Structures are given as structure tokens and as C-alpha cells.
Structure 1
Amino acid sequence: MRAEPLLQIQDLRLELPDGRRLLDGVTLDVAAGQSLGVVGESGSGKSLTAMSVMGLLPRLKAKGSIVFQKHELLSMREKERRKLRGSQMAMIFQDPMTAFLPVRSIGAQIDEQIRLHQPLSRHEARALTVKLLERMGVPDPEMAARRYPHQLSGGLRQRAMIAMALSCSPALLIADEPTTALDVTVQAQILVLLRTLREEGAGVMLITHDMGVVAQSCTHVAVLYAGVVVERGTVVDVLQQPLHPYTQALLAAIPPLDGPKPERLPTIPGQPPVPEARPSGCVFSPRCPKVRPDCAVRPDMIEMGEGRRVACVLYGA
């Protein structure tokens, strides 16, 4: 039996003030105890989807539906939505150097979030901050809490960002490229932590370019291209038997771990379209090696099994 979605995004469209559409009908969901990997090239709409869920794009017009814990977020008042951020839903941002305020210590910023959502004193909040930093493996957490962001390494800043995200035990954690620019040891520790959170019942949305990270840490995967979800399913289904030509091309570009090494890895010709030049039909058709005349019409998502869906005319009736 399929778990009830903790987060459900339906036909999400995100527009600039001039009408250009950045997201063009994103549909995906995350259940408690699931980890959804969101993959695709830069500019595909992964971070925009995450920030739309968090309500961090006030100048852009969002249409469609984002339901979290049975509450429609797009129609929720900002005051009520602010109560959810940090407490029930939290986000690990892509660059912790710019996500933290440079003029306040790491500990002060984590303390502030804790006290905003929990009835704790300043002393109790600092004790919890130190405990969280210690859980993240930060050496000398009391000293680290007193330091400013520029005084910590990239790996320690990332751990501090995760500590802040977990400070109120959110039901949904969105992690935007949490392992970028970190050494492999720290990457492994962060991935273990994310997997532990999922096993404890949290829903996790993991945005990444790394298919290896998805294979290690996620239960499900959604593939985005030019603001559209082109394929969804379990990690095993999508990575072992990709259906959409774009998913197939992404996986083909990964160097093999064993066997003969190719002299040249396959590449995807061309570039993803800018919003104003997005094709009216299949968004991938200008770069697709299997393009057909009927690709001129935008394909619907086709059910290919339990939880497995693909938007491609190759699998139509």
C-alpha cells in the first residue's frame, strides 16, 4: 500500500513578472519515510521547485498546488507559512557560506531559529545548538558555535547548516546539493545522516547532479528538464531501466566503474532551452535522438506501473 504523501506538488507553474514561465507543470510527491532524489541539468528547475515549497520566491507568481501535511501552501497566509518554515519543513541550502549571515556567529543563528519555534530559554537554546553541532561531528562544538561563517571550513559550514535545519525535527527536509564541494569522507557522513533521518520517519527531498548519491541515499527519483518532470519512479526502476531518452542520456554520460573505459563519454548535444524558447511540444525534442513528428505535442505523463510514470510519446497507446 502506497504511503500518504507528506508533500504533494501538482502542476506547479512558476512565472516571472513579465510572464516567462520557469516551471511548467511540475508534479511530484514525498511521503514520510521516503527520500526523493530530484535530478537534472543546471537550470532544469530543481532549486526553484524547492524554494517554491519553502515560499522563498515572493516576487514570482506560483500557480498550481503545493499541499504539505494536507495544507495548501500557495493559498496560506505568509504569517502562517512562516510558522512552518524551520519547524515542520526545513532546507539545507546549496551554499552555506552565503546562506548564513556573515555578521553573526553560527551559534547565534541556530539559537534564533530554535527560540523562534520552541519555548526554550537562551541558555537552553545554546545547549541544544552545541548538542546538534556535536551530533553533526563538528570538533569542539562550543567553540564552533561562537565562530563566524568565514572562520569555518566548507565542510563545517555545511554541517552547521544541517544542524540548523534539524534543530526543530522537521517532518520534511529539503537538501539542495548538500554534498557539493565536500571531500568524500564528509559526503559519506552527510549521506548517512540523511538516510538515518528518512529511517526515523522524515520525508527528504534531495536535489543533486550526482546519480551515485541518488543510488545510495534515495528511495525514489524525479527527473526534471526545462521546468518539467519527464520521469518519476523508484530508484531501482529509473536507474536500472530508464525510459525517457533524457534519463537514458544522463545515465549514459556517467563513467563506468568497471569494464573497458570508453575513450570519450557520450554527451547530450545542444543546450537546455531558456524559458522564452521552451518548445510547445516535448521540451526535450530539440536534443532527443528519438524525436518523432508527434513530439510536437506536449506528451502527458503515462503510468507505467506502480508509482512509475514517464512523459514520452514512445510509450503512448
Structure 2
Amino acid sequence: MVGEALLAIDDLRLSLMDGVRLLDGVSLSVQRGEALGIVGESGSGKSLTALSVLRLVPGVKTEGAVRLSGADVVGMTERELRSVRGRKAAMVFQDPMTAFFPVKSVGDQIVEQIRLHRKIRSRAAWAEAVALLERMGVPDAQRAARRYPHQLSGGLRQRAMIAMALSCTPDLLIADEPTTALDVTVQAQILVLFNEIRAKGSGLVIITHDLGVVAQTCTRIAVMYAGVVVEEGATENILQKPLHPYTQALVAAIPPLSGARPESLQSLAGTPPTPAHRPSGCVFAPRCMYVHEACAQRPSLLTGKTGRKVACVLYKGAEMLD
């Protein structure tokens, strides 16, 4: 998609102070009107990548580049970051119970976010906060806004978290498992809202285990494993014709929507490596059914003419991707 890059991550490496690398050369981009889905098992580095966009991972060494609308996030001061967080880019956190401040009402926290970035009176900001909660489908939004986070159910907290993230109409919205605590009806409403946000020109990053959510909202998918991007491409291409063995395993675990129902779904043996024990070659090699001698070397990320990317020695040249 042609347009200004809202987010450009280039060779991002995140390491602990003892040298253990958490992210190992992640490169991703999101442009206006585009939605990127980041998928993978727990521990693959999805949330760390998202948190790194707003420099929300303390105690780590960051290498590489992260740019929001061309501005270097890695080199920003804390004051500069405060002006970016919530306005240029906002995040829906995975666990709203710990993301909200426990001794302030939900409405007051949304108001604080609005007034931090806009010159607006408290009463007007409160009215906007209530309107946002209503838009998220929160029943009796005026009453809910006056409640503390622990007084709301998990689903209501999640909706309030999304309302706060949207309160300053950010250019880029990053949503980490945004529909996990929601029932199917509310989930559908939130996904429609995300599509509306993208249609208006904002960028969207959705981190999820649910490939169904990705299929409904995302234009592209990036598949992560052990802190590395192993495949990337258009959503339809990834879901219909996965190339990397890991992506193939993820797609094979999805129940079919039509046709004969299989007796059992395919499962992937083994577990992802910890950052301290990441293989020196292909990170997926210990669990891969196609592993051979060439996998002892880290495969490069090949890029095809249509933008399809894959890091696997099964593909000898970029022409094999299209």
C-alpha cells in the first residue's frame, strides 16, 4: 500500500542487561489505512514488539530503529514520549485490570488522557469519556464511568480500555488481545469499530492468537516465533497458502468452517525456546518436520515481488514466494 508510513520498525533488537536477546532483528511497517496482525504462540515476542513502539519495556537495551510518522522513538526523551503516547499512538493493553490505576475511577482516567493532549474543560472531557463508553457498548455509561476498575467486569474493563485508547483519536492504534474478555456479540462490534478506524486513515496493529479476528480486520499478517518474524504477507495469502512450516502448523490448527469435520485438529509438538536458549540457526528447527543440515544456519528473510516474506531454507530464492 502506497502512503506515509505511520510505523516503521527496522532491525529491532531488545536485550536484557545480561545479554539475553528478547527480540532478534524484527522489521515491520504499518501505513495509513492499513491493519497489521501479529500472530504466534505465547512467548513469541508479539507483545514485546508492540510495547517497544512506545518505549514501555524498562530495563532493556534497545538497538535498531522505531519510527512513528518519521520520528525516532528510540532517541526520544521521556517528555517527548509523553506527547506521543496516546496522541500519535495508543495501546489497548492485554490485561486492563493491571493497566488501569486502581484508586481512580475509569471515567477520571479517560478524562485525564483527553486533557493531557487537548485544551478542553473537565466537564466537556467527562461528556466525551461517557460518550466513548457508550460507543463501546457499556451499559449505563454514566454510572460505569464513576466506578473503579475492580468494580467492573473483565469485559467492561476491556471496553473501557479501548475507549481510553481511542479518546485522543491516535494515528496508530495498537491492540494486544483486544477481544479476549469479550462475548461474541461485543467482539463483533469492536471488530467493526476497528475496521471503521482503519477506513478513516488510521493505522492498526492487532496482536492475537485468534486467526479469525485477524481474518476479519487485518490487511497483512506477520508471524512471529522466538523473537523473530518468520513470515509476512497479505492476510488472504497467508491463510490460504502459508509457506513457513510454523505458519502451516498454526493454520492447520484452525477448525474448518465448511466441509467435512476432521476427527481431530493437528497439533504442534514441543514448546517454543526461551530467549536464553534460542537456537543459533533456524529458531523453529527443533520443532520442524522438514529440518535438515542447512537449518543449522539462520535463514535470511526472503522478499517476493508482491511483498510476501519468509525465513526458511526450503525456499532458495524470492521467486519461489509469489
SS at match of 2:111: helix
Paired position in structure 2 for 1:88: 88
| Aligned mates of 1:281, 1:171 — CA distance in 2 | 37
**Percent identity at matched positions?**
63
Per-residue CA distance 1:190-221 (angstroms, 9 max, x = gap): 11111110011110000000011110111110
Paired position in structure 1 for 2:6: 6
SS at match of 2:119: coil
| Structure 1 position 274 matched with structure 2 position 271 | no
Paired position in structure 2 for 1:171: 171
In structure 2, what residue type is equivalent to 1:84? V
Paired position in structure 2 for 1:312: 312
Question: 1:149 Cα shift?
Answer: 1.1
User: What aligned pairs does 1:27-106 form with structure 2 within 5 A after superposition?
Assistant: 27-106=27-106
SS at match of 1:233: strand
SS at match of 1:74: coil
Contact 2:14 2:24 in 1 (8 A): yes
Paired position in structure 1 for 2:158: 158
Paired position in structure 1 for 2:224: 224
SS at match of 1:221: strand
Question: 1:260 Cα shift?
Answer: 2.5
SS at match of 1:186: helix
| Aligned mates of 2:100, 2:275 — CA distance in 1 | 30
| Aligned mates of 1:4, 1:286 — CA distance in 2 | 39
SS at match of 1:116: helix
SS at match of 1:313: coil
Question: 1:255 Cα shift?
Answer: 1.6
User: What aligned pairs does 1:286-305 form with structure 2 within 5 A after superposition?
Assistant: 286-305=286-305
Unaligned stretches of 5+ in structure 1? none
Q: Is 100-109 or 224-233 further displaced after alignment?
A: 100-109
Report the TM-score, using the length of structure 1 for normalisation: 0.98
User: What aligned pairs does 1:128-167 form with structure 2 within 5 A after superposition?
Assistant: 128-167=128-167
SS at match of 1:315: coil
Contact 2:137 2:186 in 1 (8 A): no
SS at match of 1:26: strand
Per-residue CA distance 1:298-317 (angstroms, 9 max, x = gap): 11111123221111111124
Per-residue CA distance 1:102-127 (angstroms, 9 max, x = gap): 21100011111111111111112111
| Aligned mates of 2:221, 2:18 — CA distance in 1 | 32
| Aligned mates of 2:181, 2:111 — CA distance in 1 | 26
User: What aligned pairs does 1:184-195 form with structure 2 within 5 A after superposition?
Assistant: 184-195=184-195
| Aligned mates of 2:169, 2:286 — CA distance in 1 | 44
| Aligned mates of 1:182, 1:111 — CA distance in 2 | 24
In structure 2, what residue type is equivalent to 1:254? I
Paired position in structure 1 for 2:320: none
In structure 2, what residue type is equivalent to 1:10? D
| Aligned mates of 2:285, 2:305 — CA distance in 1 | 24
Per-residue CA distance 1:206-243 (angstroms, 9 max, x = gap): 00000111101111100000000000111011111111
Paired position in structure 2 for 1:22: 22
Residues 238 and 179 (structure 1), Cα distance of their counterparts in 2 relative to 1, 3 Å cut: same
Paired position in structure 1 for 2:236: 236
In structure 2, what residue type is equivalent to 1:140? D
SS at match of 1:64: strand
Paired position in structure 2 for 1:263: 263
Per-residue CA distance 1:144-179 (angstroms, 9 max, x = gap): 111111221222111111110011100000000001
SS at match of 1:204: strand
| Aligned mates of 2:248, 2:3 — CA distance in 1 | 28
Report the TM-score, using the length of structure 2 for normalisation: 0.96
Per-residue CA distance 1:130-155 (angstroms, 9 max, x = gap): 12112212222211111111221222
Contact 2:4 2:69 in 1 (8 A): no
Q: RMSD over aligned Cα, in angstroms?
A: 1.1
| Aligned mates of 2:181, 2:156 — CA distance in 1 | 12
Question: 1:276 Cα shift?
Answer: 1.4
In structure 1, what residue type is equivalent to 2:245? P
| Aligned mates of 1:152, 1:94 — CA distance in 2 | 16
Unaligned stretches of 5+ in structure 2? 318-322
